[in-house]
């Protein structure tokens, strides 16, 4: 369960932080830090297990009947990533506290950040691949929110959209790959999949599976040709970039490569696809990074390049290359996070990120400059820093590959060229920013940042140094367990040392360092060339064209189907219903009338039905006179509820009556703003066509009802009837179904109702439309707002009506009634006061704020449901008992009644929220009447 | 005795329903129609009370109670609309 | 004895209900039509409700009080409805057999 709670904590914490931010910026930061530490605390008891060689798998039964469980897994690789996510997450939280300006919402950033943290933990700790995919998509979604944090900026929105489109599409491909993996191995659990590598590689579906999984990994990790979203994602605040684009989000892709390495690697396809993409990305990112003028742009392309490096190592696929890949994941996360943070400090202090404008910042911020230099040296692969170690391992692997393939020499050459560029751009990052003359017209005079803003950078830079100098004493055990769980076999022999003697790799390093310095010195003409062609060779253009094309196609299809005519949509809809109905009838040769004997007809039912039919037809004929049609519809509703009474459905009848009146009030509110007469617009021919269609549909539905009702039919209803008293403790089966048997449905429904109420409120709150000052005949409205007889007598009715609603609520479990009906009665009783006494009078006695009522209602219903957990029963199990009350006598008390109370409150609140705000929509224009005011 | 009375009563109330429905259809003015609807609500209460006595069941009273209440609210809302246009102000 | 009383009440109630609707259907202007339902029908339903109250009170132990609630409702609401309807009719200037009173606004 620990792993489950570790993943859950950040999600819950996001809510907590959003709330805590009310009390101040530091409170939000403390809360966020506390949440990350709590997640770490959940993990801590298990930390020693991967080092002992065991893989922790924790299972939480979710839907055992369909084989869906929440399964979490902690092994070396997961441990490494969880450490990166939480450790760097903590540093980023500290850093962001000082980075954000006063104008930006602290709570929102931390809430998003924690959502992302939870999603990422979910990805790395999942045992089940489907579950992994869900968290994978959550990282895409939460990173969308984070990138678009400054939502008022066009670039931020564009960048976020692009990142979501690319990674979302990749996620779709990954889903396909995972389903294929499940198809091949018969399980979605990693333990099974990792153990059946030979089966997967030998399967005919191996290649499609591989391609789909790789599409998911490559889009996430910004591999060529999907790399272009990452530079645009730099529109995010820098703490976000430091977190997402160094240690976590983009590493999810390489995590997937590492995770599925035992299952998918070891074939030529794997080597060519993964190695090829990695090599291209490595070179492309390194070259472009040198010419970027934006500080974060340089870092973004450098990130792309380093991700390419890691991918290349997994593509080489020797055990030693995998060790190097895992090692570089650690190193890159450390130095790139610190570089992003340093870039953020520079941006923060100077107000710009353009490297052409800043020089010589050394004199203003020597300390930050020193930190940045160490991190950049690590990025360049200078000896004594951690980046050197893993890059040296890459050079070893590349040079060993050279002798094995016919064009093998290309590999070490390309890698060395990329190394040259890496040195050059690292040098540029340092030299252009901190040295080389005086700064040009900076927006602000820079100085050292606040003390605590530097701490995260210091910690990371210290790690660069310590790992670089003493790898065997520091990082070795973690690397060993992570690499071992990646490979799922024994580790190769290796030695984490700085000095390996004079081997080809050493010469490659020397070449890269010397070549990089030279390249930096002569970069000017190349840079001009790049500026000239910038944006012309860009996959983003392809992406935009593709997006544009899709939009055009989508618009065409929409225009083809939807011409903006309601009649046409209804025609299509009804036409299809008719077609399907006809197909159903024509296929079955049985007779229309079933075997069940008909019930006797009494004269009164016949009479009432006949009147109903006549009035219904009249509604159709008179529908252009809207008010008249509304009055007639009121009668139809009344008769329908009488029919419900006749056929022993009193609950339905009561509900129908109430809904009828609420609808009439609602329609009258709308009618005020509508034209009083609707003109004749349709052609007679068209009307006869519609009439024919209506007759066919009516006849069809009638025939269907006849066929169903004349057949003996047993349904689940009998079960409810038999178990209502024994199982739910109530003799009103309808109510027991609502609050007990199908209580979960009801909870969902009242939630929807509450949301609908809030949505209507949100839409109408600021809306003011002025209604007509005269009626349809041009007569002024009456001067008498609230006739005194109506106003005073209606007040008398309120206590009576409330008494009725309480009565209906209490007896609902056993006799017709219940929370829904009682809620509507109360709502109608209160609306009656608004009608008769006006808004001002009512609001001076009853708070207009219905939000708490809705909220408390939902809370009561949910807590009642959760209460059953306390007693060890599933959600919403109800219990009941009888108690003797003085005076009242035997009184049944069921836990479902508390649930019903919640339903009641939600119904009251939502109904009032909707109707009152519709009523308040009209503008406050002066009343013009005969008497005037 | 009671059965005969009930039968006659059903016929009378049924006729009342038909007459009121005729006024509802015929109009001619909006207040006429509202009045007819209000009358039909009262007729419905009468029907339910008769049905209750006829079947000896008290289950119909909640419906009658709510019809009395809702009929009133409907009438008030419709009249308010005719008078003021805006019913909640 | 009780059965006679009940029968009488039921018949009277139904008759008044019918007369109310008859008036609604047959009388010649809105203001006269208003009398039928508001007086006769209310009285009719009142009789029926008393009948029902008697019926259920004698059949089971305890007094049946639901009917009282319905009656209370009806008797409070009927005048309000009638007043509002008359007001609406006056406001719309419906034709009347008798000369209508002046609708004087309060100052």
On whether the pTM is more than 0.90, the answer is no
Summarize pLDDT for A298-321 with one digit per residue, the tens: 999 999 999 999 999 999 888 888
Q: Determine the Cα–Cα distance for residues A52 and A46; give it in Å rounded to an integer.
A: 11
Whether A880 contacts A894, CB under 8 Å: yes
- How many whole angstroms separate alpha carbon C24 and alpha carbon C38? 10
Q: How many interchain CB pairs under 8 A, A with C?
A: 36
Residues of chain C with Cβ-Cβ distance to A796 below 8 Å are 76
**Model confidence over A502-517: pLDDT tens digits?**
788 788 888 888 888 8
> HEC string of A708-769?
HHCCCCCCCHHHHHHHHHHHHCCCCHHHHHHHHHCHHHHHHHHHHHHHHHHHHHHHHCCCCE
| Residue A391 CB partners (closer than 8 Å, separation 6+) | A309, A328, A381, A419, A509
- Does the distance separating the beta carbons of A787 and C87 come in below 8 Å? yes
The alpha carbon dihedral of A174, A175, A178, A183 has a sign of negative
Residues of C in contact with B52 (CB under 8 A): 52, 56
**Cβ–Cβ contact C25 with A under 8 A:** no
What's the pLDDT score for residue A882?
59
* Three-state DSSP class for residue A101: coil
pLDDT grade for A884, boundaries at 50, 70 and 90: low
Query: How would you class C74 by CB atoms within 10 Å of its CB: exposed for 0-12, middle for 13-18, buried for 19 or more?
Result: buried
A250, burial (CB in 10 Å: exposed 0-12, middle 13-18, buried 19+): buried
pLDDT score recorded for residue A893: 64
Per DSSP, the residues of A154-185 read HHHHHHHHHHHHHHHHHHHHHHHHHHHHHHHH
The string of pLDDT tens digits covering residues A754-805 is: 999 999 988 888 787 777 777 777 788 888 888 888 888 888 889 988 988 9
Residue of C nearest to A780 (CA): C91
- Inter-chain touch A794–C80, beta carbons under 8 Å: yes
Tokens representing residue A609 in the block: 């039905």
DSSP designation for A891: E
- Which of C36, C38, C70 best probes binding to B when mutated, by most B CB atoms within 10 angstroms? C70
Q: Rounded CA gap, A303 and A245, in Å?
A: 7
More confident residue, C94 or A634: A634
Query: Can you give the C-alpha Rg of chain B in angstroms?
Result: 16
Is the distance from CB of C91 to CB of A785 less than 8 angstroms?
no
Among C76, C83, C91, select the one facing A796 at the smallest CB separation.
C76
Strand-pairing partners, residue A63, are A68
Percentage with pLDDT > 70 across chain A: 94
Confidence of residue A677 (pLDDT cuts 50, 70, 90): low
Within a 10 A sphere around the Cβ of A317, how many other Cβ atoms?
Answer: 18
How far apart (Å, rounded) are the C-alpha atoms in residues A554 and A162?
A: 18
CA distances from A570 to A684, A690, A699, A768, C17 (A): 18, 10, 17, 32, 43
The minimal CB distance from A931 to the residues C92, C93, C105 is found for: C105
Question: What ipTM score was computed for the predicted complex, to two decimals?
Answer: 0.96
Element containing residue C86 per DSSP (H, E): helix C66-92
**pLDDT mean across residues, chain A:** 85
First and final C-alpha spacing in chain B: 54
Measured CA to CA, the distance from residue B31 to residue B41 in angstroms comes to 15
* A882: β partners: A892
d(CA A717, CA A706): 20
Picking from C37, C56, C70, the nearest residue to B35 by CB comes out as C37
Name the neighbours of A, counting chains with at least 3 Cβ pairs within 8 A.
B, C
Give A348's pLDDT tier (boundaries 50, 70, 90). Answer: confident
Whether residue A914 is predicted with pLDDT greater than 60 in this model: the reply is: yes
Nearest alpha carbon to residue A844 among A833, A852, A855, A856 = A833
Where exactly are the structural domains of chain B? Answer: 2-84
Separation between Cα atoms, residue B71 and residue A634, nearest integer Å: 9
To test the contact with chain A by mutation, choose from B30, B74, B75 the residue with the greatest count of A C-beta atoms within 10 A, namely B74
Cβ-defined contact of B83 to A627 (cutoff 8 Å)? no
Q: How confident is the model at residue A909 (pLDDT cuts 50, 70, 90)?
A: very high
Using DSSP, state whether C24 is helix, strand or coil: helix
Which position has the higher pLDDT, A242 or A765? A242
**What confidence tier does A929 reach under pLDDT thresholds 50, 70, 90?**
very low
Chain A touched by B83 (CB under 8 Å): yes
Q: How close, in Å, is residue C91 to chain A by CA atoms?
A: 7
Question: Where residue A927 falls among pLDDT bands split at 50, 70, 90?
Answer: very low
Smallest Cβ–Cβ distance between C91 and the set A782, A790, A796 belongs to: A782
Residues from chain A that touch B41, judged by Cβ atoms under 8 A, are: 638
B74 touches chain A (CB under 8 A): yes
Q: What is the pLDDT of residue A498?
A: 75
On the question of pLDDT at A406 being above 70, the answer is no
pLDDT, average across residues A214-239:
88
CA distance A623 to A619: 6
Residue A887: pLDDT band (50, 70, 90) is low
**Residue A921 in this model has a pLDDT that exceeds 80:** no
Angle between helix B61-84 and helix A626-646 axes, rounded to 10 deg? 180
Rounded Cα distance, A746 and A886, in Å: 33
Which residues does A910 contact at the CB level (< 8 Å), separation at least 6? Answer: A753, A754, A756, A757, A850, A854
| Among the listed residues B29, B41, B28, the one whose alpha carbon sits nearest the alpha carbon of residue B74 | B41
The H or E element spanning position A71 is strand A68-74
**Where exactly are the structural domains of chain A?**
266-442+506-518, 545-584, 612-679, 727-774+783-933
First-to-last C-alpha distance (Å) of chain C: 59
Ranking A72-86, A337-351, A696-710, A732-746 by mean pLDDT, the lowest is A732-746
Counted residue by residue, chain A has a size of 933
CB-closest option in A628, A669, A839 to B30: A628
Closest CA to A568 of A699, A685, A701, A690: A690
Nearest CA-CA distance, residue C102 and chain B, Å: 16
Specify whether the CB–CB gap between A805 and A825 falls below 8 A. yes
- Give me the residue from A631, A781, A922 closest to B78, CB to CB: A631
**Beta partners for residue A58, in sequence order:** A72
pLDDT tier for residue A933 given thresholds of 50, 70 and 90:
very low
The per-residue pLDDT for A545 is: 87
Which pLDDT value is given to residue A536?
61
Q: Is the dihedral of CA A109, A114, A119, A125 positive or negative?
A: positive
Mean pLDDT of C50-70: 81
- Residue pair A677/A624 in contact by the 8 Å Cβ criterion: yes
Tokens of A924: 């406050």
Q: How far apart are CA A541 and CA A534, in angstroms?
A: 12
Least confident of A437-446, A634-643, A784-793: A437-446
> Which among A779, A790, A804 has CB closest to C80?
A790
Give the pair of three-digit tokens for residue A425.
């751009």
Is C69–A782 a contact, with Cβ atoms under 8 angstroms apart? Answer: no
What is the Cα–Cα distance from A211 to A173, expressed in whole angstroms? Answer: 9
C30, closest residue in chain B (CA to CA): B32
For residue A142, give the nearest of A166, A118, A107, A171 by alpha carbon: A118
Instruction: Give the Cα separation of B37 and A633 in Å (integer).
Output: 10
Was domain B2-84 assigned CATH 1.10.287? yes
**Which has more pLDDT, A892 or A577?**
A577
A931 pLDDT band (50/70/90 cuts)?
very low
Q: A631, B25: Cβ pair inside 8 Å?
A: no
Inter-chain contact A929–C105, Cβ cutoff 8 Å?
yes
Q: Is there a contact between A237 and A147 (Cβ–Cβ < 8 Å)?
A: no
**pLDDT bucket at A932, cuts 50 / 70 / 90:** very low
Place of tokens 């670039």: A155
Query: Considering only CB atoms, which chain B residues are within 8 Å of C51?
Result: 49, 53
Nearest CA in chain C to B44: C45
Subunits with 3+ C-beta pairs closer than 8 A to C: A, B
d(CA C32, CA C29): 6
Between residues 30 and 69 of chain C, which touch chain A (CB distance below 8 Å)?
Answer: 69
Range with lowest mean pLDDT among A522-526, B22-26, C20-24: A522-526
Option in C3, C33, C69 nearest B32 (CB)? C33
**Mean pLDDT of all residues in A580-609:** 82
The token pair that represents A35 in the structure block? 């949440």
């Amino acid at each position: 369960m620990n792993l489950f709670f570790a993943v859950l904590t950040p999600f819950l914490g996001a809510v907590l932080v959003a709330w805590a931010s009310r009390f101040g910026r530091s409170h939000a930061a403390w809360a966020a830090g506390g949440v990350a530490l709590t997640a770490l605390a959940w993990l801590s008891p298990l930390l020693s297990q991967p080092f002992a060689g065991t893989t922790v798998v924790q299972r939480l039964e979710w839907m055992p009947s369909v084989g869906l469980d929440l399964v979490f897994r902690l092994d070396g690789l997961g441990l490494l990533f969880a450490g990166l996510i939480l450790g760097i997450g903590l540093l980023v939280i500290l850093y962001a506290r000082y980075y954000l300006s006063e104008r930006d919402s602290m709570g929102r950033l931390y809430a998003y950040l924690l959502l992302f943290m939870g999603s990422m933990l979910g990805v790395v700790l999942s045992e089940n691949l489907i579950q992994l995919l869900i968290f994978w998509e959550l990282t895409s979604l939460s990173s969308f929110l984070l990138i678009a944090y400054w939502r008022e900026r066009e670039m931020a929105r564009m960048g976020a959209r692009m990142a979501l489109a690319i990674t979302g599409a990749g996620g779709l491909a990954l889903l396909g790959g995972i389903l294929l993996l499940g198809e091949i191995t018969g399980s979605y659990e990693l333990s099974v999949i990792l153990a059946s590598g030979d089966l997967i590689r030998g399967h005919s579906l191996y290649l499609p599976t591989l391609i789909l999984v790789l599409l998911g990994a490559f889009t996430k990790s910004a591999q060529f040709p999907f790399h272009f979203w990452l530079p645009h994602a730099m529109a995010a605040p820098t703490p976000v970039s430091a977190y997402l684009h160094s240690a976590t989000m983009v590493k999810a892709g390489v995590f997937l490569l590492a995770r599925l390495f035992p299952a998918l690697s070891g074939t030529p396809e794997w080597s060519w696809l993964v190695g090829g993409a990695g090599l291209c990305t490595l070179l492309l990112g390194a070259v472009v990074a040198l010419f970027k003028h934006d500080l974060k742009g340089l870092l973004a392309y450098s990130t792309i390049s380093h991700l390419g490096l890691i991918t290349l190592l997994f593509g080489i696929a020797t055990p030693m290359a995998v060790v190097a890949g895992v090692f570089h994941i650690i190193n890159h996360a450390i130095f790139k996070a610190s570089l992003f943070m340093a870039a953020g400090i520079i941006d923060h202090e100077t107000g710009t990120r353009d490297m052409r404008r800043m020089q010589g910042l050394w004199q203003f911020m020597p300390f930050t400059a020193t930190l940045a230099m160490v991190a950049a040296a690590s990025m360049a692969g200078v000896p004594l820093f951690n980046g050197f170690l893993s890059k040296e391992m890459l050079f070893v692997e590349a040079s060993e590959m050279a002798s094995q393939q016919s064009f093998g020499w290309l590999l070490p050459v390309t890698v060395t060229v990329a190394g040259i560029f890496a040195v050059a751009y690292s040098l540029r990052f340092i030299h252009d920013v901190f040295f080389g003359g005086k700064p040009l017209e900076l927006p602000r005079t820079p100085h050292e940042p606040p003390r605590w803003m530097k701490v995260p950078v210091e910690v990371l830079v210290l790690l660069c140094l310590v790992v670089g100098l003493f790898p065997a004493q520091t990082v070795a055990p973690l690397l060993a367990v992570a690499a071992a769980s990646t490979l799922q076999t024994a580790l190769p022999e290796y030695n984490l040392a700085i000095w390996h003697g004079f081997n080809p790799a050493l010469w490659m390093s020397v070449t890269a360092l010397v070549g990089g310095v030279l390249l930096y010195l002569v970069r000017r003409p190349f840079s001009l060339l790049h500026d000239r062609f910038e944006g012309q060779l860009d996959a983003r253009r392809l992406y935009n064209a593709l997006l544009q094309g899709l939009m055009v196609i989508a618009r065409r299809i929409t225009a083809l189907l939807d011409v903006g005519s309601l009649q046409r949509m209804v025609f299509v809809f009804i036409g299809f219903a008719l077609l399907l109905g006809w197909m159903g009838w024509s296929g079955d040769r049985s007779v229309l009338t079933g075997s069940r004997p008909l019930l006797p007809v009494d004269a009164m039912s016949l009479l009432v039905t006949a009147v109903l039919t006549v009035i219904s037809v009249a509604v159709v004929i008179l529908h252009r006179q809207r008010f008249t049609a509304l009055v007639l519809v009121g009668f139809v509703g009344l008769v329908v509820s009488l029919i419900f009474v006749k056929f022993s459905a009193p609950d339905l009848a009561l509900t129908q009556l109430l809904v009828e009146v609420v609808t009439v009030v609602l329609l009258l509110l709308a009618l005020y703003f509508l034209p009083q007469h609707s003109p004749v617009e349709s052609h007679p021919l068209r009307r006869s066509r519609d009439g024919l269609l209506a007759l066919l549909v009516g006849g069809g539905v009638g025939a269907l009802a006849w066929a169903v009702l004349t057949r003996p039919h047993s349904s689940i209803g009998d079960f409810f009837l038999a178990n209502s008293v024994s199982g739910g403790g109530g003799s009103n089966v309808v109510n027991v179904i609502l609050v007990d048997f199908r209580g979960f449905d009801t909870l969902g429904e009242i939630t929807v109702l509450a949301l609908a109420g809030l949505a209507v409120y949100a839409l109408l709150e600021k809306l003011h439309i002025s209604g007509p000052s005269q009626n349809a005949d041009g007569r002024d409205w009456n001067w008498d707002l609230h006739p005194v007889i109506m106003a005073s007598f209606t007040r008398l009715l309120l206590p009576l009506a409330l008494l009725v609603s309480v009565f209906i609520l209490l007896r609902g479990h056993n006799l017709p009634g219940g929370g829904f009906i009682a809620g509507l009665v109360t709502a109608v009783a209160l609306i009656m006061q608004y009608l008769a006494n006006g808004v001002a009078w009512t609001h001076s006695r009853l708070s207009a704020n219905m939000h708490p009522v809705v909220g408390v209602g939902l809370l009561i219903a949910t807590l009642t449901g959760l209460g059953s957990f306390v007693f060890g029963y599933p959600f919403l199990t109800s219990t009941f008992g009888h108690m003797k009350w003085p005076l009242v006598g035997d009184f049944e008390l069921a836990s479902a009644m508390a649930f019903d109370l919640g339903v009641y409150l939600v119904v009251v609140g939502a109904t009032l929220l909707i109707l009152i705000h519709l009523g308040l929509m009209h503008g406050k224009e002066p009343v013009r009447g005969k008497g005037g005011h | 005795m009671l059965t005969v009375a009930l039968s006659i009563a059903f016929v009378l109330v049924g006729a009342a329903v038909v007459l009121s429905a005729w006024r509802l259809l015929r109009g001619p003015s909006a207040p006429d129609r509202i009045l007819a609807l209000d009358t039909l609500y009262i007729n419905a209460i009468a029907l339910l009370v008769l049905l209750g006595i006829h079947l000896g069941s008290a289950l119909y009273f909640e419906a009658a109670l709510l019809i009395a209440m809702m009929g009133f609210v409907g009438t008030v809302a419709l009249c308010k609309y005719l008078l003021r246009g805006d019913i909640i102000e | 004895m009780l059965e006679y009383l009940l029968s009488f009440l039921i018949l009277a109630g139904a008759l008044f209900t019918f007369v109310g609707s008859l008036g609604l259907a047959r009388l010649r202007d809105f203001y006269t039509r208003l009398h039928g339902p508001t007086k006769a029908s209310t009285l009719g339903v009142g009789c029926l409700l008393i009948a029902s109250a008697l019926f259920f009170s004698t059949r089971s132990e305890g007094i049946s009080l639901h009917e009282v609630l319905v009656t209370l409702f009806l008797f409070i609401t009927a005048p309000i409805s009638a007043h509002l309807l008359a007001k609406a009719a006056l406001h719309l200037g419906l034709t009347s057999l008798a000369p209508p009173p002046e609708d004087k606004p309060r100052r």
